[in-house]
Amino acid sequence: MRIVFFSLLLLLNLSAKSLEELASGVLMVGFDGVKAPKFLKKYKVAGVILFSKNIKSKNQLKKLTKDIKKLQPSIMIAVDEEGGRVQRLKKFAKFKSAKKVAKSGEKFAKKEYTKMAKLLNEVGINLNLAPDVDLEYLNNPIIAKYKRSFGKNPKQVIKYANIFTSIMKKHNIMTTLKHFPGHGSSRSDSHKGFTDVTQTWQKRELEPFKKVKSPLIMTAHIFNSNLDSTYPATLSYKTNTLLLRDKLGFSGVLISDDMQMGAISKNYPFKTALKLALNSGVDILLIGNFLDKPLKIKKIVNTIVELVKSGEVKKQRLEDANSRIKSLLLKYKKI
């Protein structure tokens, strides 16, 4: 009842927020260095994302997350900690890839992910941008090549992904299913440029997104004309709202993959990409500041404010996204 009450208070308070606050509240931003970014003093963002460049040791990371929370107590501190080739804590811990975990069996998976969850909690991270629930297809250059998938069979992927998410939740770590509506069937890497899965994507790639429980889902920058003949998934209202929310019933927080990845940045002006992503139903815009030239948060916030003032993005869209994010953080308020 208390969560419901506070959620109602949040909705009432949102109307009093400035456009700048609403715009800040839909951002997850990366930064340079190993100290808490100064922009947190002014901008109340949804979250920050940490990469290996921000992490030197366990003690340094503990201090970093503690200092971040001093500046902003209610915030998502995120990392990509899948295991295998995709992990950020490898300076002091190493975890097996999803493929190796699935091959090792359920007992091993529970042990491995319990160890991972405890470590994330210990160092002050509350959001894991994992698990990857893409199906292993072809000789995929970004999923299969790096052994990021639990397998080809949706049932196997669902089984191990649910082990992952349930253990993370038990240790108060939020999780993120990725990459909706399925990146495993791509023949190219969306980090580098346009990625079309029209001829290879199959509906069964949606199964894990239906059956694995997680508070967040991450979009893919893939183009699939069977779902939307105009826009890639991250920018597609048909994919993110009509399919994911309306048809599949997802009511959690939708986060974009990094908006600086080539599939988006090489094909859409920055302002246009933000507009389309927000209007598609994305709640959190991820700007990693890792794959491209760093973008100052002031520029990002001002761009969103301009979009609202011009009527290209409705203020209500930002209010809805902020409300969904804050409600989620309330559920994990012990973090």
What is this structure's pTM?
0.93
Mean pLDDT of the chain: 93
Q: What is the mean pLDDT of residues 41-68?
A: 97
pLDDT for position 202: 95
Give the pLDDT confidence of 93-104 residue by residue, as tens digits: 999 999 999 999
CA distance 25 to 283: 9
If pLDDT is split at 50, 70 and 90, which confidence band does 333 have? confident
DSSP 223: B
3-state secondary structure of 231: coil
Q: Is residue 9 predicted with pLDDT exceeding 70?
A: no
CA distance 296 to 300: 7
Nearest Cα to Cα of residue 264 among 244, 242, 283, 236? 236
Give the pLDDT confidence of 106-151 residue by residue, as tens digits: 999 999 999 999 999 999 999 999 999 999 987 888 999 999 999 9
* Domains present along the chain, CATH in parentheses: 2-331 (3.20.20.300)
Q: What is the mean pLDDT of residues 318-326?
A: 98
CA 271 from centre of chain: 20
Q: What is the mean pLDDT of residues 285-303?
A: 91
If pLDDT is split at 50, 70 and 90, which confidence band does 234 have? very high
Q: What is the mean pLDDT of residues 297-317?
A: 98
pLDDT for position 276: 98
Query: CB within 8 A of 13, min separation 6: which ones?
Result: none
Q: Is residue 334 predicted with pLDDT exceeding 70?
A: no
pLDDT for position 139: 81
pLDDT for position 7: 52
pLDDT for position 32: 94
The larger pLDDT score, comparing residue 188 to residue 204, is at: 204
Q: Is residue 228 predicted with pLDDT exceeding 60?
A: yes
Instruction: Indicate the residue type of 103.
Output: K
SS (H, E, C) the chain: CHHHHHHHHHHHHHCCCCHHHHHHCCEEECCCCCCCCHHHHCCCCCEEECCHHHCCCHHHHHHHHHHHHHHCCCCEEEECCCECCECCCCCCCCCCCHHHHHHHCHHHHHHHHHHHHHHHHHCCCCEECCCECCCCCCCCCCCCCCCCCCCCCHHHHHHHHHHHHHHHHHCCCEEEEEEECCCCCCCCCCCCCCCECCCCCCHHHHHHHHHCCCCEEEECCCECCCCCCCCCHHHCHHHHHHHHHHHCCCCCEEECCCCCCHHHHCCCCHHHHHHHHHHHCCCEEEECCCCCCCCCHHHHHHHHHHHHHCCCCCHHHHHHHHHHHHHHHHHCCCC
pLDDT for position 187: 81
Its sign, for the CA torsion 108, 114, 115, 116, is positive
If pLDDT is split at 50, 70 and 90, which confidence band does 3 have? low
Query: CB within 8 A of 121, min separation 6: which ones?
Result: 171, 172, 173
- Lowest-pLDDT choice from 188-192, 255-259, 284-288: 188-192
Catalytic residue list: 191, 257
CA distance 42 to 44: 7
Name, of 10-19, 189-198, 231-240, the range with top average pLDDT.
Answer: 231-240
Cβ neighbours of 31 (radius 10 Å): 22
If pLDDT is split at 50, 70 and 90, which confidence band does 231 have? very high
- Lowest-pLDDT choice from 26-40, 186-200, 223-237: 186-200
